[in-house]
């Protein structure tokens, strides 16, 4: 796996390398010419090939302004360097000559760290198609990036771990995990094969949202299939909250944000939460990825 993820000045940079058995000029054409870009890049692209030129991305095809976003070409040095912006993200594509061809170095800089696995699996699929172009091979089958490949990048980049933050009332443990299925499928998976009657505020939450390490109190907030929050008590007195929230994520899947709060003196619970919820989320994520890999009926 040539892909790696670096953090510099608080931003994330995905770094991918490909060795190609073709001269830089041929690869440069595939990287910058619109007729080739349309095959491997995830948007239609129109560009002014000069530093400071406009680069226009269209996700809907055609030239409908409602589907377009405009970036800036920040470097254009044929056949060596092409760099540009897309929204707030930065892209840099270098073509370095080697004895047997060239080395393609692709960098994507962004802020949303939990999205890194989606970006890595997506760009790997795109660069596979770029390699077909320079090899002169037919286009590959159109498909989504592999969900299981996505999960391998989560592991490789250390994206499954939670974080701890101090709060005025104690602490907050937080997991932000990109999943490979939409919120409705995630919610149904958490409910299990026999969900019973719909839960309401005040009920004990369904088992899929709980763990034996933190006995669940009543539901305090509910908005299926997006939000479920409940108190976690000790000796009958609530110490904090556990909140499951599913929001729009990168790609086709939902973003899971799981937060547990607790008082400063509950140090052991804070430590346990980092371990317990990771162990709870990862089997869920892998089950969803396996479901995404199943062929459609």
What is the domain-level CATH number for residue 263? 3.30.530.20
Contact call for residues 208 and 188 (beta carbons, < 8 A): no
Last residue of a domain, one of 100, 125, 157: 157
Residues 173 and 150 reside in one and the same domain: no
State residue 144's pLDDT score.
67
Q: How many CA atoms lie within 13 A of 90 on its CB side?
A: 10
Q: In terms of domains, do 153 and 42 share one?
A: yes
What is the per-residue pLDDT for 236? 74
Task: Tell me, yes or no, whether 169 and 289 share the same domain.
Answer: yes
Task: Give CA angle at 173 (187, 120), nearest 5°.
Answer: 65
Statement to judge: residues 12 and 139 lie in one domain: yes
What are the pLDDT digits (tens) for 47-102? Answer: 999 999 999 998 765 555 557 899 999 999 999 999 999 999 999 999 999 988 99
CB 68 within 8 A of CB 86: no
Span 129-135, mean pLDDT?
93
Task: Report the number of distinct structural domains present in the chain.
Answer: 2
Is pTM, for the whole model, over 0.75?
A: yes
189-205 confidence digits (pLDDT tens) = 999 888 778 889 999 99
∠ CA 203-207-213 to the nearest 5 degrees?
A: 105
Question: Pick from 263, 271, 205: which is nearest to 234 by CA?
Answer: 263
Which of 157, 188, 203 is at the close of a domain?
157
Write out pLDDT tens, residues 245-278: 999 998 789 999 999 999 999 999 999 999 999 9
**pLDDT beyond 90 at 206:** yes
- The domain in which residue 78 lies consists of 4-157
Q: Is pLDDT of 107 > 60?
A: yes
- Strands 170-178 and 54-58 turn out to be unpaired
- 194 and 133 within one domain: no
């Amino acid at each position: 796996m040539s892909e790696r993820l670096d953090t510099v000045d608080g931003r994330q940079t995905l770094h991918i390398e490909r060795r190609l058995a073709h001269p830089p000029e041929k690869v440069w054409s595939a990287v910058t010419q619109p007729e080739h870009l349309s095959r491997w890049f995830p948007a239609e692209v129109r560009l002014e090939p000069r530093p400071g030129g406009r680069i226009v991305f269209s996700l809907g095809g055609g030239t409908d302004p409602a589907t377009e976003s405009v970036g800036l070409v920040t470097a254009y040095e044929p056949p060596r360097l092409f760099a540009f912006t897309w929204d707030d993200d930065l892209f840099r594509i270098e073509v370095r000559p080697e004895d047997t061809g060239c080395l393609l170095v692709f960098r994507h800089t962004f802020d949303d760290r939990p999205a890194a696995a989606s970006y890595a699996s997506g760009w790997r699929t795109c660069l596979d198609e770029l390699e077909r172009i320079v090899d002169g091979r037919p286009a590959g089958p159109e498909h989504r990036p592999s969900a299981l490949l996505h999960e391998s990048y989560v592991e490789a980049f250390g994206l499954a771990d939670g974080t701890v933050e101090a709060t005025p009332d104690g602490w907050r443990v937080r997991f932000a995990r990109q999943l490979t299925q939409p919120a409705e499928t995630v919610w149904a998976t958490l409910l299990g094969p026999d969900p019973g009657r719909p839960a309401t505020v005040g009920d004990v939450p369904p088992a899929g949202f709980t763990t034996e390490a933190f006995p669940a109190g009543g539901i305090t907030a509910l908005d299926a299939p997006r939000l479920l929050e409940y108190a976690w008590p000790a000796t009958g007195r609530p110490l904090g909250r556990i909140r499951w929230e599913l929001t729009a994520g990168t790609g086709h899947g939902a973003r899971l944000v799981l937060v547990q709060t607790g008082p400063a003196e509950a140090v052991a619970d804070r430590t346990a939460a980092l371990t317990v919820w990771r162990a709870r989320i990862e089997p869920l994520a892998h089950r969803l990825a396996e479901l995404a890999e199943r062929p459609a009926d």
